[in-house]
Chain A
Amino acid sequence: MQIAILSGKGGTGKTLLSVNLSYLAENGTYVDCDVEEPNGLLYYQLENKKTEEVSIKIPVVNHDLCNGCEKCTDFCKFNALAFILDKVRVFKDLCHSCGGCKLVCPTNAISEIDKTVGYIHSGKIFDTNIYSGEMIVGLESGIPIIDELLNQVKNSSRNVFIDSPPGNGCSVMESIRDSNYCLLIAEPTIFGLHNLNMVYNLVKVFNKKVGIVINKASENSIIEDYALENNVNIIGRIPMDLELGRINSEGKIVASYDEYKPLFTDILTNIYKELNL
């Protein structure tokens, strides 16, 4: 079973929630898909972590074989190839690795080479399996890394918690690809509601089961009102609690403290109920 934790904006509590739920769950697995700024390993400090490279295929042009027909530059919809100064140039940061240029080349002037785009760190701690993606800084897309992360847990019989990237862009869509349930976390502010609405509309497109957790819950009921209006269940409320914030900011797992454990156990129980488990 796979549960994705999402939010419309960063800093709302995706990592807090996914780390603590995967820590408490029986046979829990934590997957950090926020590959542009992964921070799950601050909580799950792996002593013996395994690191693998993730690479994609990019084209290289043999200029001796190229006849300058420009079929490849016309084919590429991502403008990763351009015919400039009588040579086909490859802009590897723009390449989406579709391999089309190689197929349309009539003189077999294009071949492919590997380009490393990031890493996957993995290991085990507190009986939780950990996978964390990391994109090489400066590259334009982390999607191949998210894709590989999800492939590694695809057939897992464990309870997998996906720490999604923020927002509702391509990388978020990729991260919820195999999810059985999407948990949206939001703060009760006008800005928080706006961002919740964005990400709610996204998961609706993918017909995912969905629930909401309110972080920094206050008397302000705008999230509850929104949930009622859209017929979505509120799965839990994390209160505005300075002590909880302090523990979390020190890189400690809040649910390992007796006073906060029930808070997250309740959320977990509610998710299982929603999934009829």
Chain B
Amino acid sequence: MIIALPTTTSGEKSFISEHFGRSNFFYIYNTETKTGEVYVNANKDGQGGVGVKSVEFILKHGTNILITPRVGEKAMNLLSETDVKIYTNTDEIVKENIASFLNGELKEL
């Protein structure tokens, strides 16, 4: 299973970004290999459609689960057509959020 999270800084000790499309980085975690990759969000300063591009990005990485505080309207409409499930994060860092999700402690958005 692949989990995607928008993050403020790079790595598993980062906090979750307030914005999905305009986050600085994405953290893509593979639960089978228990490894995560950091990606710079190339679209973050775009004038519009950044949420759409971020959906495109996480789908390319085969994301099954998205952990984020919120998603904009266009991105949400797109995600609702996919099998991606969205969960709301806690105030803790990436690592803790992934652990909480795997323990079934996060709420679906």
Contacts and interface: CB of A to CB of B under 8 A. Distances in A.
A263 interface: no
Contact of A78 (B47, B74, B81, B82): B47
B94 interface: no
B56 A73 contact: yes
Interface of B: 43, 46-50, 52-53, 55-56, 59, 74, 78, 81-82
Contacts of A84: 52, 55-56, 59, 78, 82
Given A85-B82, A91-B74, A79 B46 contact: yes
Contacts of B55: 82, 84
A91 B49 contact: yes
A94 interface: yes
Nearest to A73: B56
Nearest to B74: A91
Contacts, number: 39
Nearest to B56: A82
B82 A79 contact: no
A132 B55 CA distance: 39
Interface of A: 73, 77-80, 82-85, 89, 91, 94, 140
Nearest to A80: B49
B47 to A, nearest CB: 7
Nearest to B57: A82
A82 B74 CA distance: 12
Contact of A83 (B48, B49, B56): B56
A220 to B, nearest CB: 38
Given A82-B53, A91-B52, 6 more contacts: A78-B46, A79-B52, A80-B49, A82-B55, A84-B55, A85-B82
Contact of A94 (B48, B56, B59, B81): B48
B17 to A, nearest CB: 18
A247 B19 CA distance: 48
A85 B84 CA distance: 12
A78 B59 contact: no
A83 B57 CA distance: 9
A15 to B, nearest CB: 29
